[in-house]
Structure 1
Amino acid sequence: MANAPFFSSFLLLIFLVVAGFDDCIASQIGLGSRLVAKENRAWVSDNGTFAFGFTQLDDKRDQLQIAIWFAELPGDRTVVWSANRNSAVSNNAILELDTTGSLVLFDRDNTIWSSNTSNAGVQGADMSESGNFILYNADNRPVWQSFSYPSDTLLPNQPLSVSLELTTSKSPSHGGYYALKMLQQPTSLTLALTYNMPESYDDWPELYSNYSYWNAPDISNVTGDVVAVLDEAGSFGIVYGNSSDGAAYIYKNDDDNGGLTAPSRQSTRLSVLRRLSLETNGNLRLYRWDDDVNGSRQWVPEWAAVQKPCDIAGICGNGICSLDKSKTSASCTCLPGTAKVGPNNQCSDNSSLTKNCDSRHGNKTSQFRISMVQQTNYYYSGFSVIANYSDIQTVSKCGDACLADCECVASVYGFEDENPYCWVLRSLDFGGYEDPGSTLFVKVRPNDTASEGNRGRSGDSSDGSGSKKILVIPIVLSMSVLIGLLCLLLYYNVHRKRTLKRAMESSLILSGAPMSFSYRDLQIRTWNFSQLLGTGTHQTVTEDFFYPGWAFKEMTKGNPTKVADRRLEGAVVEEELMRALKVAFWCIQDEVFMRPTMGEVVRMLEGSVDHINMPPMPQTVLELIEEGLDHVYKAMKREFNHFSSFTINSHPSTHATCSYSTMSPR
């Protein structure tokens, strides 16, 4: 009996634990159960896949919503359903399944949301493994379920019938929202993505207050239910017919081998978690949870309805969408006459939206002007169109047509099948996009300036002239400074090269060493060959300083080292120098047949030839020595003058013949 108190305490502990977790087990949600926001508790499905409870709205701690999310994903609380995403509650909120069978959300005694199922026979609730939160009656039949009131996400086996739609939360900047729903035509149905106008446009007919920018294939002439479904294999499409035997794929998963299936009511955990979400940017995207993406666990996109962001109407409100070079990211600019204001950078209403017709429906043209936005088109509904002129052949005339109509706020000029069109519009609601073949004309007041984002695209001359002048002045100044810097750099380089050249020339001149002159040097130093080199205060240059003759004499005397450059300081091999001198004088012989071939020159310089004969004095060198440099300079002057006065029209060729002679280098 000693263990009796312990056993009783253990049973009491189990009872308290079960009672404490009564609201955390979905299969035991009874009437009177409640969730308190401050307690951070939730009703969880049997296997812990989904949870139902309070969670933060847009990552704001002080704003909460009642939602369903994936409970078992680490670090991820992706919401798949919400009851009050447009009406956040505080930490004082309470969700209760009251005794009448209605699920009610309170916040400080204010009813925020209700399932409206009082006295409908509700006996309990269940958070199922399919992600569907269900209120059951005594016969275990659904009285209310979250699948019948979808938010922005479609889960596997969740039907989206003709009467249902996925919707995003309202945009905080422009108030519009996106929807995925069935659009009914006279003889067909089509699943479409639409951009819907803000609540201020609720008095408009539905046809005029939304714009469809993406459509699935039409379903024509069918009987029975038409349901869009994401099946268990990960394929998305439409199932139709009395027995749901008809199917049309919108996206087919590669692993889907069984065909598109109708929604089932089974509440079992799927092997792969998927969700089809309508995102706040207007795109419909299919995600799959992957437990190993480069070592991490995350949602991986498998399919998207729209590939380019600017193909989505309203993505910039009523502004203009522009793609970047990658065609995957977009930026927004406001229409002419508007500007981004407020904390959300929302574009202000266009001035032309105000009434511009007088009591007689007359035009007040003088109060407005036209601002042109080049390479831009616009999304518009049928209600927005006042007229379509197909006989306007010039772009500017389309702008004039809008200015002449008091109801017009904008017009669009472009081509369709090479035929021009000019749509005159009474409203700008669904946004614009880049289109190289179109031009948008917007009516604005004379004192309105183009918005900051549109200054680069606007073609209005009155606003553009001042900005062009402001831009031209700094450009001209910048170019002038750049040209000046380039000129200084060029002068510095030329001056530096000349200085280096003079320094090198002066450093290479040694006392007593032979000097070489180019033809240009001789011409400059002799005043165009009018003076002898070396006359004046210095001694006249003699034949000893005529290098070829002097070198030949030293070679024949057996003193080849005197010919070498003094800067070598005698570091030469006399035998090699003598061999080089002999080869050099053999190569400048006047008679061609006396000159060695290149092969012979190489062998002689390499030392392969045992003995090289002493060459004779070349006749040209001998004549230069005998006649004196005075005659040389005069002859060079005559040759220069002759070359400057006449044009050579032909180039006689020299035909050299080779013959054997007793005079040979070998």
Structure 2
Amino acid sequence: MADYTLLHLLPLICLLTSSTVAQNNGNISIGSSLTATDRTTPWLSPSGDFAFGFQQLQNNKDLFMLSIWFHKLPDQTIVWYPWNVDPLPRGTKLELTSDRGLVLSNSENSSIWSTNSIADEVSYGFFNDTGNFVLARSDSVNIWQSFDNPTDTLLPTQIINVATNFFYKAYFATATWDAANSSNAGYQLIFNEMGSMYVLKRSNERYFLHPTQPALPASDYYLRATLNFDGKALWSLPENICADIVGGEGNKGSGPCGYNSVFRLNEYQRPICECPRGYSLLDPNDKYGSCKPSFIQSCDEYKLGSPEDLYDFVEIIDTDWPTSDFERFNPYSEEDCRNSCLKDCFCAVAIYRDNSCWMKKLSLSYGRKDTNLKSKAFVKFRKGDVPPQTRSPSPPVSEPKKKKNGALILVGSVLLGSSVFINFVLIGATCLGFFFIYHKKIAKIPQINDVVGSNLRCFTYKELAEATNGFKQELGRGAFGIVYKGELPIGSTNIIAVKKLDRVTQDDYKEFKTEVNVIGQTHHKNLVRLLGFCDEGQHRLLVYEYLSNGTLAGYLFGDPKPSWDKRTQIALGIAKGLSYLHEECSTQIIHCDIKPQNILLDEYYNARISDFGLAKLLMINQSRTNTGIRGTKGYVAPEWFRNTPITVKVDVYSFGVLLMEIISCRRSLEGLEAGGDGGREILTDWVWDCFQEGTLEDLVQDDIEALDDVKKLEKFVMVGIWCIQEDPSLRPTMGKVSQMLEGVVEVTVPPCPYPFSITV
């Protein structure tokens, strides 16, 4: 079991007498409901220790959270909430129903969230004194409970079962997996009534996560284990996060704090995240989040002047980002270390320690401050962009500035004392001079400098030609170019994929800039990461991370057929990636060409959306655009052919087709060119026929795993049919698609997807 965060226990902060509001036995009957208002009384556990209902937000009295909280504590600390439900407006209703369990609906009676994954009819609800809300059958068997759906808090008696492997390297692990004897592996994390937390092995052996027994019975104390940094730490793992963070290939992600941040422990061994000088929080409200630099360093700026004139360093003691190195020099002097970083346009920070120099580039990961490091960090900043800590209210004017001011005053005096004609001549000459100087500077900066992705590396064509061995090994090709495999000379795992545009027309260059700009602004686990680009002369290339398992097309339509579980996880990953592009980016992005060839798979077969060359961008206040037909035959939404505005719903349509391919492991137009095979030529038609006729087993044929999971199969098919509705307004958003696939939102029976078309 591995965890990326701390576990803390909260001691009793307020003892209350038992003279509380009169309690029932904790039973909640079918038909009971709560409404989000200021005066609604929540459902209480028998002792009144816990409350379940709507808690009003402190910073917005018109918004509420459906949650469970410590009812008797002054601050009413929340211990559970539906993790995928946003703050709710006044008037939202929660009702206990027999067929869907708990149902959360808005004022228009539309469902927002429910526990509809339950298989049996609910007879009643029970809210017990452990803080667990339970839905039960008539024979008192539990069929849903909040303890099985944790968020950021564990309560005594709560058990967490093994879920999934987490591919980021852990800085703490219990190592309770026994490869030699898998039957004795750890399979449950238990938080018991005495405040102990341990991993239970199948042999009933216990592996405790703390050195001594806390002995804090839940009957005398309110206890909780959280994934946050609040509460008084009675014990924590690891004991010193700073000391346990080590550099290495496996350390992915930002670390305990965000990117470009620095982590340290205070005197109480509590974590503190800080931005280094010259950086500020990306989100001012997230003190544990990433930090952004005060300037964006560009290699092209080095052409405009010497590095010494452009940049300087802020020196920080005992600070390092151990996983962000791209170069090391040894032996080296401190002055050589500074100069090397100063002259390298990729270097953002240099670390000097023990006659060695480590050069680092953005994004900086696993930043830490520790007196044991005995190091100096030289953090680069552009002159004029003074770090916030050193900025003064009214900086003194430097000597060169005084001289420039003097020259301007002299010109003014000459003009005032000259004839009108001479004045015009001088003004014209001055303006013309400024024009040529300005034009010369602008001409030196390539157009691609408007790229927002501040962490993208600018490669030379020679570098990429050498990295790909003369563009020798082809990985694939698309409408705009060929992708080659390459390897950078720095490091041992720098395998890359280089996309080389094979045409250099004005339209292609526009697509090139689009792709760089789009991917440079995105960051999501289900999107392919762009590492850099080349914009040199007629050469236009994009450099991506290399994904070892190729395209979804090769995986999906190959032999043997991928497992049902793996296919459903891939479908969910694609949905979440599209939801991010459509709903979470500041500039809404329509991909326009979703298909199996544009979905790549990493080493763990996680889906990663690629190829944004056709992407269409929408500003926040836009919802649709007009453009020529884009996409691939078999995945193109009907509105492309109707000269109607294009919205994100074209991606939803393409995803629906792709989802059907994932379900059936068949291509969308399989056999069409060869004359077909009995009505299965067009996959979307065949899926609709199978759904209508109740023969979904035909879609998966001999796939035993899928046939044993017939409810999920039916749900995925219905989601796919909703996505390919001919009327775009009937298609769900990708956010809702994700929720439907996860079972969070109920999937209703879809109508005929093409009521406006005649199908043969």
Q: What's the TM-score, normalizing by structure 2?
A: 0.40
Which protein has the larger Cα radius of gyration, Structure 1 or Structure 2?
Answer: 1
Higher strand proportion = 1
